[in-house]
Amino acid sequence: MNISRNILIILFSLFAVSMLAIGRFYDSRLVVYGVNISVIISTLYSVFAISSILLFQKTPISVYKLIRFLFYSSIIISTLFLWPIYGITDYGFEKLLNFILITVPISIIISQKFNTKDRNFFILVLLGVSAFLFLITIYSFSSISLSRSGVLGGGPIVLSRWLCLGSLILFFHPKLSKIKYLFVVLFIIMSLFTGSRGPFYSLFLVAILYFFINFKRIFWKTIIAISLISSIIIVSGIYTKLSEFSTVSRVFMNLKDGGTKKSTGRFIIYQTSFNEMVNYPMGIGSGNFDVYSDRRQHLLTKKIYHPHNLFLEIFIEFGLFSFILFCLYIFYSIRISYQKNIKSSNKYGNLLFYTFAFLMLNSMISGDLNDARLLLVFIPLMNLNSDVNNL
């Protein structure tokens, strides 16, 4: 029984992570020799997900688990009530469907059936996807370095997010050799060539957080490392070479000319978001952010599907109640994770906590609910077996 159970969880993990990478059940862009790979992966994922759910046993109810359940339920129920009032779009329907079929089942199976061994394997599969995308990025370097683009049909932001995720797993993984640090740098450099600022800035903020929490222990090591890296970059002319690429230059556009070159896009989107929050405090339904935006400046000519901030998106589209539940869920998750992964001697603690921090920060500046699937799946992964014992 244990052998069959372990094999099932391994197969589920492989196809669940594949679905997290694809982000949808069907993607017309993933065709190889006339065969759509997404259909095969989603079919096998469904089989192993259902099989894993059948393994469920009764588990105690906890406050943490109840908040998670209420939050997931509020996203689904609020939209079903709001769509008849405010309308439904293809984008909104697809986003809710992916949430129900991908994010919710994977996170629930992890919280209900995974043990630490399963968690560690799941993390390695995440790293494997990141490494695969890294190799594809190198293979497609000539096109990626010239203009913002992704690989395998995905966008540049998604690619950058996966590369930065891989660099974090490599850096903090307790069982990988020291040569991993070379690949950490390479993963980050490749993420720069996507031209996406959000994941890179999120990674930078995580580095600051890590330095702050571990100030006494790593202060001198950090100073020496930064000085050495800065010297190599300046003396070798690496920075000058990298800045010649428009994609890399775009990542640092807000820092050019003494920080005077600023982008107003996010400011306009956030201002629009706050107006929608005031006008529709009970929500407008999944996918309707753009439909009910006040359409100012570049919003007039460019379709903005979401506010590029998960907190704002949940408030605007799913209402105040869902927003409160989400804030409670994140608060409890941070509290439990800090106690379980930073204050304890858990050797995977740094990897779990700082990867979560990266995904959380990134969800606040880019992506929508569907893009936040990695975050929502990683929360139960990092707080495994914490539903009862850590409240």
Give the CA diameter of the chain. 64
Tens digits of residue pLDDT in 353-385: 999 999 999 999 888 899 899 999 999 999 887
Helix (H) / strand (E) element for 32: namely: strand 31-32
The answer to whether residue 170 is domain-embedded is yes
Provide the residue range defining the domain that includes 40. 2-382
| pLDDT the model gives residue 147 | 63
pLDDT for residue 98 is more than 90 = yes
User: Is 54 domain-assigned?
Assistant: yes
Average pLDDT over residues 171-189: 84
Q: Give the whole-number percent of the chain exceeding pLDDT 90.
A: 38
What confidence score (pLDDT) does residue 138 get?
Answer: 85
b/e map 265-283, b = 16+ CB within 10 Å: ebebbeebbeebbeebeeb
**Cβ density class 201-215: b for 16+ within 10 Å, e for less:** bbbebbeeebeeeee
Using 50, 70 and 90 to split pLDDT, how confident is the model at 317? Answer: very high
- Report pTM: 0.87
The pLDDT-based confidence of 391 (bands split at 50, 70, 90) is very low
Question: Which amino acid is located at 97 in the chain?
Answer: L
Please report the DSSP string for 50-114 in residue order: HHHHTT-------HHHHHHHHHHHHHHHHHHHHHHHH---HHHHHHHHHIIIIIHHHHHHHHHH-
* Whole-angstrom distance, CA of residue 77 vs CA of residue 3: 38
What percentage of the chain reaches a pLDDT higher than 70?
Answer: 78
pLDDT digits (tens, 9 = 90+) for 112-165: 889 899 999 999 999 999 999 999 888 877 666 666 665 655 678 888 899 999
Residue 104 in any domain: the answer is yes
- Residue 390's pLDDT is 39
Residue 391 included in any domain: no
Binning pLDDT at 50, 70 and 90, where does residue 258 land?
very low
Examine the pLDDT at 259 and tell me if it is beyond 50: no
pLDDT greater than 50 at residue 388: no
**Helix 116-139, helix 156-172: angle, nearest 10:** 130
* Residue for token pair 């943490």: 64
pLDDT at 389 over 50: no
Answer whether residue 299 is part of any domain: yes
Q: How many domains does the chain have?
A: 1
Asked whether the predicted pLDDT for residue 304 surpasses 70, the reply is yes
Q: Within a domain: residue 390?
A: no
Does residue 263 lie within any of the structural domains?
yes
What does the pLDDT look like over 167-179, one tens digit per residue? 999 999 988 877 7
Q: Tell whether the model's pLDDT for residue 239 goes beyond 90.
A: no
Q: Does residue 388 sit within a domain?
A: no
